[in-house]
Amino acid sequence: MDVVDPSTGTRIETYEEHTEGDVTEALDRATETFDDWRTRSVRDREQLLATAGEVLRDNKREYAETMTREMGKPITQAIAEVEKCAWVCDHYAEYASTYLDSDPHPSPPGSTVETEYEPLGPVLAVMPWNFPFWQVFRFAAPYLTAGNVGLLKHASNVPGCALAIEDVFREAGYPEGVFQSLLIPSDLVDDIIADDRVRGATLTGSGPAGRAVAATAGEHLKKTVLELGGSDPFIVLDDADIGSAAETGAWARNLNGGQSCIAAKRFIVHTDVYDDFLDAFVDEIDSFVVGDPMDEKTDIGPQARQDLMEELHEQVAESVDAGATVVTGGEPIDREGVFYPPTILTDIPEGCPVDSDETFGPVATVYEVADEDEAVSKANDTNFGLGASIWTENRDRGKRIASRIDAGCVYVNQLVKSDPRAPFGGVKDSGYGRELSEAGIKEFVNRKTVWVE
């Protein structure tokens, strides 16, 4: 696996892929380790997770620089990502025991009925490059603490991150085999899921990848959780605080170079405030610094790979040819590296690529709508259903509209984000299942009913 620094286009590292024999050994190790790991008390597992959080904090600059070199995330955002991983470790170190406590149920006199939560076994995680630490810890912190063991198939452009995460758990004192990174191509994933030693799979990624994992897992009756793409609406109503909406919206679209499933992508603005919002939105976006991701003043670094930037620009170009108007940006930046500028498009023709497909980069589409009902209709006019953001000074109005939005999570006067304290996941083509909070730790467990007479 060759690692190419997207800010320069230079190959900076090469890693040897694991062989099929290595995978077999890893599966054997995971199975053997699980037999002991599942018997450890939750409190023991919580203490190890707390130590993993400490390891992350102690080495956050090193891990952040690995992210930045491999996929171009600006260094300040990379440091924040490591800190967020430590936070999710803290959360489950504190709350896992509570989440996993047995639940009592009504029962006849003289009997007790409870649901116990027991781990399933080895779980395969297929994870993306865009948040190369957070996506992994979002699954690992709860699933390992519930008593499962993890196998990570990370994206092929972030192998250094994959191995660094494995080192975090090793340094924290986890037994060998509780968490293993597999540097393998995607064509080995189906065989791993089909293997009897693997009891479940979770994937964060594209729709086609999710369908492939779900199909194989379904054939073998394996549990899956899928967090797929998104085309999140950002609704600005006539009573919104325009300054706050524009400032937050600009960041919600361009954080991580716009390479986020939950980025705000379709800005749906009430006609009464459309011009004011667009002006403020353009000002905010034009203020961002695009440049060297190792420079702490940089807001937006390179796109992660050349082919991804080319695909994004093709979506923009086809949409402009169909009639969309470029307000700012719209062309790759003529400099070393894979850089694309923050871009705003208006007058979006229905069905063009930026209207109907997910755009995975710093490209915002802005729509003008006449009223609240049209805003909701446009927000729901997508195959995706991951997140949504609504902006209004009337909190009751925001909550009422939130109930009409087809999405796994809706935020009022806030950007869409994942938080250890709240369940996270999507509907429709954005996947199924939930991560984080109590819901997340209970995805890969046996909810065993125990009736004692």
Gap between the Cα atoms of 281 and 244, Å rounded? 10
The maximal CA–CA distance of the chain, rounded, in angstroms, is 77
DSSP secondary structure code for residue 73 in this structure: -
The one catalytic residue in 166, 227, 284, 435 is: 227
The one catalytic residue in 85, 89, 161, 261 is: 261
| Residue 376 tokens, joined | 């909701």
Gap between the Cα atoms of 262 and 384, Å rounded? 11
H helices within 343-423, ranges in order?
Answer: 353-356, 372-380, 395-402
CA distances from 279 to 251, 273, 276 (A): 15, 10, 5
Q: Is the CB of residue 411 less than 8 Å from the CB of residue 232?
A: no
Helix (H, G, I), strand (E, B) or coil at 186: helix
Phi, psi of 165 (to 5 degrees): -65, -40
How big is the chain, counted in residues? 453
DSSP secondary structure code for residue 221 in this structure: T
85 is catalytic: no
| Residue 270 tokens, joined | 């009430």
Q: Is the CB of residue 7 less than 8 Å from the CB of residue 301?
A: yes
CA distances from 15 to 11, 171, 409 (A): 11, 21, 38
Gap between the Cα atoms of 52 and 140, Å rounded? 11
Plot region of 303 (φ>0 → left; ψ -120 to 50 → alpha; else → beta): beta
Q: Is the CB of residue 296 less than 8 Å from the CB of residue 61?
A: no
Among 128, 390, 377, smallest CA distance to 259 is for: 128
Our measurement of the distance from residue 154's CA atom to the centroid of its chain's CA atoms, rounded to an integer in Å, reads 13
Sheet holding 112-119, edge to edge: 103-105, 112-119, 445-452
227 is catalytic: yes
DSSP secondary structure code for residue 220 in this structure: T
End-to-end Cα separation, the chain, in angstroms: 58
DSSP secondary structure code for residue 129 in this structure: S
Residues 6 or more apart whose Cβ sits within 8 Å of residue 438: 95, 99, 423
Torsion of CA 262, 50, 23, 135, to 10 degrees: 10
Q: Is the CB of residue 229 less than 8 Å from the CB of residue 430?
A: yes
Question: Which residues are catalytic, by number?
Answer: 227, 261
